[in-house]
Structure 1
Amino acid sequence: MTAKSEWDKAALALANANSKEINALFCGVSIDEFHMISHVKTTKEAWMILETTYEGTKKVKDIKLQMLTNQFEELKMSDDESFDSFYGKLNEIVIAKFNLGEKIEDAKVVRKILRSLPESYCEKVTAIEESKDLDEIKI
């Protein structure tokens, strides 16, 4: 075998892999998303278009993360709010940050929950803090 035929086999293998990958992407997106990426030749190009569309550029992503961090820090449970409603809001922020690549540790979320509860939960918060290791407790 010559170097040229080996290169051709390698190029063919890469082209085959790209075709399979781009086909998988095409099958996994909506019709609108398909129209955005149908003209590209490589999987990387398609992925970059989808990534920029949904995550934005690094600058946009950083701004979104900063906004979510502010929302996380400012979130408090009101006296007339149910715990489920409050936890739902908090969980939405945690998931949104995770989807943008920033994981919030369980211990930080637990501490946030305990800090954010209204005065009527004071005794329960104290009991939890004294009886549990907040670094080990699960949400």
Structure 2
Amino acid sequence: MASSNGNFPATLPVLEGGKKFDQWCAKMRVIFGFQDVLDIVKEGVQEVDSGATEDQKAANKEAKKKDCKALFIIHQCVDMGNFEKISNVTTAKEAWEILERAHAGNDKLKKVRLQTLRRQYELLQMEGNEVVGAYFTRVLSLTNLMKSYGERISSQMIVEKVLRSLSPRFDHIVVAIEESKNLEILTS
């Protein structure tokens, strides 16, 4: 939702501790994109040399404004504990990198988390009294988490997982879908 001035969303996501860092990052990337500062956060601002043209100096000044805007957004979207980690940095890129190092974990930890998610995915079954929509939401939530750790899962794989893990009361529907549809064109 946009605020009355159209510049910022009415509510911003706040990173509290390190909980749900991946989801917070995804939301922040969208906000940075909306505010046209995503490149600044990723790549930083390049300094211009003393012999720069007026156009280059103006472009650098604009980039520095965007950097301040991005840093302001980051400051607004972290709790006090995370703010203390980034309070002395002067660029959005530095702040973002500090938060990533503090919360994203190393590659080994990501691999362990992905293995745990894969196991949950393999064992996932629809509960006997569960509504199909709720089960589908559980599957999508889990697959989105797996994707955030680098797993490649196609829509077809998700559809196939749902069809083979529905409760037995849906067996006749699953057979009808498999017989009448090309599963390669169904999407999740």
1:70-102 deviations in Å (ceiling 9; x for gaps): 111110112222222222221211221233343
| Cα drift, residue 34 of structure 1 | 2.7
Does residue 109 in structure 1 map to residue 155 in structure 2? no
Partners of 1:57 and 1:18 lie apart in 2 by 31
Distance 1:108 1:34, change over 3 A: same
Contact 1:26 1:34 in 2 (8 A): no
Classify 1:15/1:71 alpha carbon distance in 2 versus 1 (closer, same or farther; 3 Å). farther
Q: After the TM superposition, which residues 1-139 of structure 1 pair with which residues of structure 2 at under 5 Å, given as runs?
A: 4-6=50-52, 17=63, 20-28=66-74, 29-32=77-80, 33-139=82-188
Unpaired runs of 5+ residues, structure 2, are: 1-48
Distance 2:87 2:172 in 1: 59
Conservation of the 8 A alpha-carbon contact between 1:18 and 1:43: no
Sequence identity (%)? 34
TM-score (norm 1): 0.78
Which consecutive unaligned segments of at least 5 residues does structure 1 have? Answer: none
| Paired residues, number | 137
Q: Which moved more, 1:108-117 or 1:69-78?
A: 69-78
Distance 1:49 1:15 in 2: 24
Q: Is the 8 A contact 1:77 1:86 kept in 2?
A: yes
Greater helix share, structure number: 1
Structure 1 Cα separation of the partners of residues 79 and 127 of structure 2? 42
What TM-score results when the alignment is normalised by the length of structure 2? 0.60
Distance 2:180 2:144 in 1: 28
